[in-house]
Amino acid sequence: MVLVRRLIGDVIRRRRVAQGRTLREISAAARVSLGYLSEVERGRKEASSELLAAICTALDIPMSEVLRDVSDEMVRVEAAAVGALTELRPREDTRKQEAVPVG
């Protein structure tokens, strides 16, 4: 099962790192504690919509981009899970059985 909070945290962390910014910088700009932001990035805490908006503002990116990235990642995770399940399912025998006359 995929946790949305983990995907959100992964996206936020990737965006922050890509900008070369520290947790401390973003936590100060978003007015959230360093520890809490770290927990959000690690997927251990849920980010409210207000907190997510503050983080996105601090990163200077639209929330819609973050949510789109999360959605894209969710699609990949779900597709991988479906593929794994398909591989685990027994395959049906598609050969036709012949009727054998009795007697």
pLDDT tens across 26-81, in order?
999 999 999 999 999 999 999 999 999 999 999 999 999 999 999 999 999 988 88
How far apart (Å, rounded) are the C-alpha atoms in residues 3 and 1?
7
Residue 19: DSSP 8-state: T
Question: pLDDT tens across 11-28, in order?
Answer: 999 999 999 999 999 999
Cα 52 to chain centroid distance, Å, stands at 15
CATH class of 4-85: mainly alpha
Residue spans of the domains in the chain: they are 4-85
Report residue 91's pLDDT band, with 50, 70 and 90 as the boundaries.
low
How far is the CA of 74 from the CAs of 4, 6, 11, 34, 98, in angstroms?
8, 10, 11, 27, 45
